[in-house]
A = this chain, B = another copy of it.
Amino acid sequence: MKRPGEEVITSLQNPRIKEAVRLLDRRARKRTGRTRIDGARELLRALDGGVRPEALYVCEELVRPGEGAEALQRCRQLEVPIWRVSAELSARLAFGDRNEGLCAIVRWQPLTFDELTIPDDPLLLVVQAVEKPGNLGALLRTADGAGVDAVLLCDAVTDATNPNAIRASMGTIFTVPLAQGGSADAWALLQAHRVRVSTTRPEASTSYWEADLTGPLALVVGAEHEGLGESWQQEEITALRIPMAGAADSLNVNVAAALVLFEARRQRSRQRGESN
Contacts and interface: CB of A to CB of B under 8 A. Distances in A.
A233 interface: no
A226 interface: no
Which of under 10, 10 to 19, 20 to 34, or 35 or more describes the interface residues of A? Answer: 35 or more
Interface in A216-265: 241-248, 251-252, 254-255, 258-259, 262, 265
Contacts of A248: 45, 141, 144-145, 170-172, 175
A195 interface: no
Stoichiometry, copies per complex: 2
A247 B210 contact: no
A244 B143 CA distance: 10
A269 interface: yes
A255 B257 CA distance: 9
A176 interface: yes
Given A259-B258, A259-B259, A276-B207, A144 B269 contact: no
Contact of A246 (B147, B252, B258, B259): B147
A187 interface: no
A245 B45 contact: no
Interface string A132-155: 000000100111111110000000
Interface in A161-194: 170-172, 175-176
A22 interface: no
A94 to B, nearest CB: 17
Interface of A: 45, 48-49, 138, 141-148, 170-172, 175-176, 207, 209-210, 241-248, 251-252, 254-255, 258-259, 262, 265-266, 269-270, 275-276
Sorted nearest first, the 7 A-B pairs with minimum C-beta distance are: A147-B245, A144-B246, A175-B247, A207-B276, A255-B258, A145-B251, A209-B266
Given A145-B248, A242-B262, 14 more contacts: A45-B248, A138-B252, A138-B255, A141-B252, A142-B251, A144-B247, A145-B245, A147-B246, A175-B248, A176-B246, A209-B276, A251-B258, A254-B254, A255-B255
